[in-house]
Amino acid sequence: MSNEVRSLNEECGVFGIWGHPDASRVTYFGLHSLQHRGQEGAGIVSNDSGKLNGTRGLGLLSEVFKDERHLNQLTGHAAIGHVRYATAGTGSVDNIQPFLFKFYDGDFALAHNGNLTNAKSLRKTLEQNGAIFHSNSDTEILMHLIRRSQKETLCERMKEALNTVKGGFAYLMMTKDSMVAALDPNGFRPLSIGQMVNGAYVVASETCALEVVGATFIQDVNPGEIITINDEGLTVEQFTKDTQHAICSMEYIYFARPDSNIAGVNVHSARKNMGRILAQEAEIDADMVVGVPNSSLSAASGYAEESGIPYEMGLVKNQYVARTFIQPTQELREQGVRMKLSAVRGVVAGKRVIMVDDSIVRGTTSRRIVNLLKEAGAKEVHVRIASPPLRYPCFYGIDIQTRKELIAANHSVEEIREVIGADSLSFLSEDGLIHAIGLNFDAPYSGLCMAYFNGDYPTPLYDYEEHYQATLKEKMSFL
Amino acid sequence: MSNEVRSLNEECGVFGIWGHPDASRVTYFGLHSLQHRGQEGAGIVSNDSGKLNGTRGLGLLSEVFKDERHLNQLTGHAAIGHVRYATAGTGSVDNIQPFLFKFYDGDFALAHNGNLTNAKSLRKTLEQNGAIFHSNSDTEILMHLIRRSQKETLCERMKEALNTVKGGFAYLMMTKDSMVAALDPNGFRPLSIGQMVNGAYVVASETCALEVVGATFIQDVNPGEIITINDEGLTVEQFTKDTQHAICSMEYIYFARPDSNIAGVNVHSARKNMGRILAQEAEIDADMVVGVPNSSLSAASGYAEESGIPYEMGLVKNQYVARTFIQPTQELREQGVRMKLSAVRGVVAGKRVIMVDDSIVRGTTSRRIVNLLKEAGAKEVHVRIASPPLRYPCFYGIDIQTRKELIAANHSVEEIREVIGADSLSFLSEDGLIHAIGLNFDAPYSGLCMAYFNGDYPTPLYDYEEHYQATLKEKMSFL
Amino acid sequence: MSNEVRSLNEECGVFGIWGHPDASRVTYFGLHSLQHRGQEGAGIVSNDSGKLNGTRGLGLLSEVFKDERHLNQLTGHAAIGHVRYATAGTGSVDNIQPFLFKFYDGDFALAHNGNLTNAKSLRKTLEQNGAIFHSNSDTEILMHLIRRSQKETLCERMKEALNTVKGGFAYLMMTKDSMVAALDPNGFRPLSIGQMVNGAYVVASETCALEVVGATFIQDVNPGEIITINDEGLTVEQFTKDTQHAICSMEYIYFARPDSNIAGVNVHSARKNMGRILAQEAEIDADMVVGVPNSSLSAASGYAEESGIPYEMGLVKNQYVARTFIQPTQELREQGVRMKLSAVRGVVAGKRVIMVDDSIVRGTTSRRIVNLLKEAGAKEVHVRIASPPLRYPCFYGIDIQTRKELIAANHSVEEIREVIGADSLSFLSEDGLIHAIGLNFDAPYSGLCMAYFNGDYPTPLYDYEEHYQATLKEKMSFL
Amino acid sequence: MSNEVRSLNEECGVFGIWGHPDASRVTYFGLHSLQHRGQEGAGIVSNDSGKLNGTRGLGLLSEVFKDERHLNQLTGHAAIGHVRYATAGTGSVDNIQPFLFKFYDGDFALAHNGNLTNAKSLRKTLEQNGAIFHSNSDTEILMHLIRRSQKETLCERMKEALNTVKGGFAYLMMTKDSMVAALDPNGFRPLSIGQMVNGAYVVASETCALEVVGATFIQDVNPGEIITINDEGLTVEQFTKDTQHAICSMEYIYFARPDSNIAGVNVHSARKNMGRILAQEAEIDADMVVGVPNSSLSAASGYAEESGIPYEMGLVKNQYVARTFIQPTQELREQGVRMKLSAVRGVVAGKRVIMVDDSIVRGTTSRRIVNLLKEAGAKEVHVRIASPPLRYPCFYGIDIQTRKELIAANHSVEEIREVIGADSLSFLSEDGLIHAIGLNFDAPYSGLCMAYFNGDYPTPLYDYEEHYQATLKEKMSFL
């Protein structure tokens, strides 16, 4: 999927380090490798002998931390950071994490990746009991639960709070004397731990961040785990035993960086496998295989290798796309003015093209790319999607919460083919996807969350239950 | 070549349009597709019924033209634009083009891609005769020559001026009633003409810009041609008959966008051919082929296809690299902190890797990438370069003017292999390169400039003659 | 007092309006006239049919609201705004007001001018009961008290909260259906109400803001009053009956704009009276009276009129002083390089000058100005201060909380004269000040707070009690 | 005249220094004190052992030189700087001075205050001979004349050039080995020389800049002088003997800072005299004298002293007026929303006010201020203008070049009174002005230029001759 019309959005990435003299700077580099998980805001909080200092702002990491001075203020041997994706319109700095709290009994910072399914009701109950929220982010809820817990120790309070929130969450917290990571009981979001040569512990949403800072992978944070890191070392505990793997399959398909491993599986290799199995499932004779840059290149090369059809660069993406780019007017667009993605006439003209993409959300992007290829002279365009049709919303951290937007929720494959103008269209099967990724947890779908494809949500939906029923009704109205 | 340490720099890209109601906006999109040719500054001058208005500034196009207002001021049916690469330290807006001049007898604007070989002596002579220069750019020289010419018509004066300057140049000019494009007698730099559906003529450094604005390719500007476009249409003339093709081979190897065609040859296809021929010339047994992103991906896939060795994504480039990015300290670098390029451990660990890159300049980048792969567990790294060794400076528009920087000017292939730490190293042969591109002009090297590889400059070097002799002496001192 | 070294800082200004179609824009102009009360940050919250929207930022009002778009988003018929002075180092946007809260049962916004004397203990108690603070401002405390109150109605809850906080405060609040203003039981800070021609009610820290938006003065908010404005009109209630006027005398002396009236007394006229009485109390023969621009010009002209000695412009202030101005190095300063204030050699050379200033804090500024005048050739410089010596800290909203900084707390008038290098020095007497302002409330000092001069604080000091004792001890150690 | 609608605009200020290790920083402070002479752009060029470096930009000095780094680059023992006023719309950085030229035989920088009367014809002639201009500023002309001169030495060439340009000019130039100041044969613009304690020579448009950098006044640059300052010291020469003083009277009335001396006369004192004589010429019974801030305060205090009527602060100007301030809508303006200037109701209500202003240009500002005072309750407003009626355009450096804008060119005093709504109106007489300033050069009007008042231009008007005749005709059409 090109991001010409980006429709699936990850909510965040987190990075933390304990035990390094240049902790905030290492965090900066770690976050930089997670920038693909959120481009709307970024922040870092450092811990200098128990005193926490933070900086956060709207925009890319390099816009928030413009020069050395921004990092030099964040002194200390530990730090946590966050990159955030925010839905349009709510772009207030108040929502940018990590949140930093200054209590009379010590500072506390909090960063979060995921989405809670009982946030709305928890928030209302808390407000009715005098709680004051300063953002419209779910993340503050955990802080209130911790502060209101009657348990003796901070760790006990955290565990109680973690058992109260529901849904998908990966939390990274900084107290005055420790860094704490916790993952929801299904492990929807990836979270891994590594160690640098100097002994510093590192926590990150993806293993690519471990590589980038030169850290060695130690372990994934497992579902239901709370891991405390401090000057004594690393302690792993379970805040709940009631766990079952349901790793977000979209991480493998689209979100994660190809150089990351999730649950031990390399993302690029998984994608290449998706392409290979797709080639087996949906063979067709053609002159070339073309991947939609950048996220579909692995799948496309897998398809090409398996099919023996040459892989060609039939689409080129402009690498200088800025977020503030001026858009073509409708008139210019009709005259053929393009911006971000170009079809390569010299390559595709007169040829039968297999166009491999990772997913179809609304169908508008696919239609545009098929059209680009045809305008550049492609004789045939056969679209091959390296994942099953997206038919159900996600409530665990991906920004699609209504079925109205999902073309496959309301249309058959043949209808979609017609909408996007392709000569043929095939999706990877659910089994093909599961097989391509190749997890083998003792859980449904070998440990993957397949809810977007089949509506089989691994948890109750709480506050979204009603919403979900409504979206089902929406669907009815379409049929 | 990754741009971690970018060492070869194109000087510019130009774009112009005549006959469109939204001329400056089309120019913006055309320039955007040429942004890879220059990132230090950009400008647009529009022509509104003979009155020229311009905006220019330092930075990327999207930084100079931050919002609609910047374009809305540039009214008129015609416009020319420029993106500029500038050597560090001279980052003054005075040097950003197009240059706009307001004469009592009419406005004039001028944009330039290339490098003159007699600029220094022309400038001195002109100053001795009262000329005042406002930039340290070569480009102003043409303006002075035109204004001082005693010829009757503006066109005659332009021709005289074009016959006075020497070296590599592609000029794009705007007078009150026409747009004029001109190319040096060797055609070092690409320059093409297209037409939009509404009839508007478009001139661009690369054909990718024609595609992006929906224009159909009409013709390349040929060596020694001056092409005038006005409300009457397009007129092609020769300012000199003494021409001979010597197209910059680095355009095919590295600079141009893969979706551009130069002299009718698609750049991606040429690069894929370079990879294929390299596979024939420098075969080796290995587990995978890995291209250095982004410019070497075409050559790497050609190598993979020809050799039958699978193509893998063993290197990943962070797409969020900003120009103002904070750098890791030396200490962090030693601890393994990386920024822009990562090797994919999950892919390369334990494997024999063929690493394909487009060129080697200083050798530092290659050494770093080989090292990345080895640190990520690659068992063997065999480097294959899809072009011949760079041994001689360029005086026609590429920013390398001393041999000291060129590792291949001073070391044997075996020495370079040792420096970069590869298990083996091979370069494409000169014949392989010429064959891969496949031009067939009646000129040496089928119409390519091969001077960087063999020192066979297709023109006298004028002001650089002495400089060139000195660089040869430098070489001696190394031997 | 020139602001070359500004030492007394007001904490804030507030402005609100109810019942105007362009409420946020009127608020902008109202705040602009209060900019002298705080230059470190500004914000506006508007009420659009019960939904509150806000913008706030660091810097001057014109920096926070850079163009029309910033105001156009703040739709609605009511708005409140705030300009803030913040002590150095705490310059985080988190502290900029109005604070905007989004509760499940309605939005709420809050702005504050003043300083609480029991903030620290209230905050600790609240945190121990689960409250979470997001700023280090006192202002949030009232919000927590309101939300935690068990009273039935919002108005009852506000009253309870207002009776819990102690010290100096002028609050301006916006609920979904009303605007509420409240003043502490001593009325330390000014707060006035007016009405525009269209019937809209306006609340402002100073009456100059009423004038600037074309509103007619209705009444001052009196000590202990809570005034609710909504679509039904204006309701005045008392949250406490235990009130006694103690209006901050520094408002008359230095903070307020000369065109404001406080408790019916025009500030310029009060200052001119201070100058007149000072001339009676501290007569001296001289050639001219010179005021320190800008705040001492009224007092100086009063002195001149009373004494019959001509008023001259012997000091000129550069009106282009930016907050980010580059400072002269120590070396240049020693060579005589000045920036903000210049003595006019052509006026003062050879003359006996009476220099009138409004106050002396540290003495450094006075020393510098006396020195400027002498370097410009003044034969004698007689310093006349139009207020009594500042000897005690303020705990109600002025940013001086330690006696160490106050030269008059630790030195006799003769010692100060020597420090500042004046030929003679006199201060206005306490009686003179009270007489010049001319209030006649049935309260000590006719209703003025004179604590800075005589330590007679009109309230208990709560959390500052210990601090205050310490500053007394400090004083001992000086003696 | 308040600058609510500023109508008279000075064109520039210059400052230069030779022989100081921190030359560019001293220039920064010097320029800062000249900021009132131009707010649209600023620049500094320094001389480091013959190599010139420069920075310039749009906006206030503090916006162009944002931090130390901007100054630290401008190394060297000498520097010249410029602040510029530019007419709206031409706000291009290309016009900001000093202009810096890099010739093969040495660098050269040039700054200019004034206006040439033969610029248009000189420019056309130069262009016809091959000259290329890069700005639409007159200033470049001198550079072309110098470079094209056939004289032997640079100094001879400068003299020839200075004799070719006509009109009002104060030039400050920097060559590789000297700083050169030159003034037109009438000395329209002020230009003075001073010396710092370390021996460094300083040149500045006003003496206030000498004071600000701690320099002692040495001499004014006299009409027709060219003064060369280098390591050998200071050399004064005449480039023409045909000189006659005609100092711009508006410098005394409005432009210059009150602390400057021009031709030995202090500006504040001159203004106070204007007020005194005005009180004699136009006596009236009233309750108070009010000056329009800031430029009329001196004249108002003179009027008050002479008449014995008390001087009051009846008008207050908001000191936080930013150039980018958001304006009230027409609707708000009608409702009484004001921004920059407020009348003080508590002072003027019910009173007979004498409002003293320095000049009337269009009359719109005066009407607004009279209206402000009346709305604030003034019973009568008697306007007294401390200069004669402005009836003729200026061609020597003040930005009024057509009579259409000048209300006094087309209306009688009684008509103006009616337009501005005053109860009475009087202007200072021409003799009163000349007497108040008190020059005694052997020249018409004692050495003042009185052309704005009586059309008696001290020079031929060259290119403006026709224009001037046209403006006379305009006048006819009004009558």
- CB of B441 less than 8 A from some CB of D: no
- CB of C151 less than 8 A from some CB of A: no
To the nearest 10°, report the CA torsion of D175, D180, D184, D186.
180
Under DSSP, is residue B333 helix (H, G, I), strand (E, B) or coil? helix
Which residues of chain A register pLDDT less than 50? 1-7, 88-89, 475-479
Average pLDDT over residues C451-465: 91
pLDDT of residue C323: 62
State which residue of chain C sits closest to D199, comparing Cα positions. C335
pLDDT at C476 exceeding the cut of 70: no
> D139 or D26, which is more confident?
D26
pLDDT at C478 exceeding the cut of 50: no
B267-271 contacts, C-beta under 8 A, 24 or more apart:
B267/A346, B267/B298, B268/A312, B268/A313, B268/A344, B268/A346, B268/A347, B268/B298, B269/A346, B269/A347, B270/B436, B270/B437, B270/B438, B271/B296, B271/B298, B271/B299, B271/B302, B271/B358, B271/B386, B271/B436
pLDDT of residue C404: 78
pLDDT, tens only, B372-420: 999 999 999 999 999 999 999 888 887 766 677 799 999 999 999 999 9
Amino acid at A379: K
Sorting pLDDT into bands at 50, 70 and 90, what band is D107? very high
D421 conformational bin, left if phi > 0, alpha if psi -120 to 50, beta if neither: left
Pairing mode of beta strands D167-175, D216-220: unpaired
**Nearest CB partner across the interface for A258, out of B266, B316, B339:** B316
pLDDT at C119 exceeding the cut of 70: yes
Q: Could you give the residue numbers annotated as active site of A? A: 12
Consecutive H or E run containing C315: strand C315-317
pLDDT of residue B376: 94
Q: How many CB atoms lie within 10 A of CB B309?
A: 20
Do B449 and B246 contact (CB within 8 A), yes or no? yes
Sorting pLDDT into bands at 50, 70 and 90, what band is C68? confident
Asked if B touches C (at least 3 Cβ pairs < 8 angstroms), the answer reads: no
Chain B residues closer than 8 Å to A331 by CB: 22
Q: Could you give the residue numbers annotated as active site of C? A: 12
Sorting pLDDT into bands at 50, 70 and 90, what band is C2? very low
**Nearest CB partner across the interface for B134, out of D127, D131, D134:** D134
- E strand map for C324-447: 341-343, 352-357, 380-385, 424-427
pLDDT of residue C56: 93
User: Could you tell me which residues of B are annotated as the binding site?
Assistant: 295, 357-358
Pairing mode of beta strands A352-357, A288-291: parallel
Amino acid at B77: H
pLDDT of residue A95: 83
Do D262 and D252 contact (CB within 8 A), yes or no? yes
State which residue of chain D sits closest to B140, comparing Cα positions. D132
pLDDT, tens only, B278-311: 999 999 999 999 999 988 999 999 999 999 999 9
State which residue of chain D sits closest to C343, comparing Cα positions. D259
- Alpha-carbon D184 to chain mean position: 15
Please state which architecture CATH assigns to domain C12-243.
4-Layer Sandwich (3.60)
Chain A residues closer than 8 Å to C125 by CB: none
Q: How many CB atoms lie within 10 A of CB A368?
A: 18
pLDDT of residue D228: 98
Q: Where in chain B is the domain with CATH 3.60.20.10?
A: 12-243
Paired tokens of C344: 């006019």
pLDDT at D140 exceeding the cut of 60: yes
Q: Decide if D102 and B133 are in contact by the 8 Å CB cutoff.
A: yes
Which of C:380-419 have CB within 8 Å of A?
none
In chain C, what is the straight-line distance between the N-terminal and C-terminal CA atoms, in Å?
A: 27
Q: Decide if D345 and C211 are in contact by the 8 Å CB cutoff.
A: yes
pLDDT of residue A2: 36
Sorting pLDDT into bands at 50, 70 and 90, what band is B126? very high
Chain D residues closer than 8 Å to C320 by CB: 32, 35-36, 39, 60-62
**Mutation to test the C interface, candidates A97, A132, A134, A139, most C Cβ within 10 Å:** A132
- CB of D196 less than 8 A from some CB of C: yes
Strand B233-238: give its sheet, edge to edge: B99-103, B106-116, B167-174, B179-183, B225-230, B233-238
Chain A residues closer than 8 Å to C133 by CB: 101-103
Predicted TM-score of the model (pTM): 0.89
- CB of C431 less than 8 A from some CB of A: no
- Helices and strands (DSSP H and E) totals, chain C: 18, 23
Q: Decide if D213 and C33 are in contact by the 8 Å CB cutoff.
A: no
Paired tokens of D329: 């809508």
Average pLDDT over residues C38-63: 94
- Helices and strands (DSSP H and E) totals, chain D: 18, 23
pLDDT of residue B7: 44
Do A435 and A369 contact (CB within 8 A), yes or no? no
pLDDT of residue B72: 92
Quote the minimal CA–CA distance from C477 to chain A in Å.
Answer: 32
Sorting pLDDT into bands at 50, 70 and 90, what band is D86? low
Q: What share of chain B is helix, strand, coil (3-state, %, to 5)?
A: 35, 25, 40
Do A204 and A17 contact (CB within 8 A), yes or no? no
Q: Decide if D147 and B140 are in contact by the 8 Å CB cutoff.
A: no
State which residue of chain A sits closest to B341, comparing Cα positions. A212
Neighbours of chain D (3+ CB pairs under 8 A): B, C
Best CA proximity match to A304, nearest among A350, A359, A356, A345? A356
- CB of C327 less than 8 A from some CB of D: no
Under DSSP, is residue C57 helix (H, G, I), strand (E, B) or coil? strand
Do D474 and D402 contact (CB within 8 A), yes or no? yes
Quote the minimal CA–CA distance from A228 to chain C in Å.
Answer: 23
Considering the domain C265-446+460-472 in this protein, what is its CATH number?
A: 3.40.50.2020
Sorting pLDDT into bands at 50, 70 and 90, what band is C401? low
> C45 or D401, which is more confident?
C45
pLDDT at D32 exceeding the cut of 60: yes
R_g over Cα of chain D? 23
The pLDDT mean for chain B works out to 91
Average pLDDT over residues D182-189: 97
Chain A residues closer than 8 Å to C104 by CB: 123-124, 127-128
D264 conformational bin, left if phi > 0, alpha if psi -120 to 50, beta if neither: left
Please tell me the distance from the alpha carbon of residue C36 to that of residue C34, in angstroms, as a whole number: 5
Consult the annotation and say whether A107 binds a ligand: no
**Nearest CB partner across the interface for B102, out of D102, D103, D133:** D133
Average pLDDT over residues D394-419: 87
Do C81 and C62 contact (CB within 8 A), yes or no? no
Chain C residues closer than 8 Å to A136 by CB: 102
pLDDT of residue D7: 44
Asked if B touches A (at least 3 Cβ pairs < 8 angstroms), the answer reads: yes
Sorting pLDDT into bands at 50, 70 and 90, what band is B94? confident
pLDDT, tens only, C244-284: 999 999 999 999 999 999 999 999 999 999 999 999 999 99
Paired tokens of A73: 């203020």
Please tell me the distance from the alpha carbon of residue B29 to that of residue D66, in angstroms, as a whole number: 33
pLDDT of residue D67: 84
Please tell me the distance from the alpha carbon of residue C290 to that of residue C317, in angstroms, as a whole number: 13
Sorting pLDDT into bands at 50, 70 and 90, what band is D476? very low
pLDDT, tens only, D35-55: 999 988 999 999 999 999 999
Average pLDDT over residues C104-127: 94
Please tell me the distance from the alpha carbon of residue C358 to that of residue C366, in angstroms, as a whole number: 11
Q: What backbone phi and psi angles, to 5 degrees, belong to D93? A: -65, -20
Best CA proximity match to B432, nearest among B247, B279, B235, B223? B279
Strand A380-385: give its sheet, edge to edge: A288-291, A352-357, A380-385, A424-427
Sorting pLDDT into bands at 50, 70 and 90, what band is C1? very low
Paired tokens of A468: 């979900």
Q: Where in chain B is the domain with CATH 3.40.50.2020?
A: 265-446+460-472
Paired tokens of A312: 């060609």
Mean pLDDT is lowest, of B321-335, C116-130, C439-453, D105-119, for B321-335
pLDDT at B10 exceeding the cut of 60: no
pLDDT, tens only, A168-179: 999 999 999 999
**Nearest CB partner across the interface for C60, out of D67, D322, D328:** D322
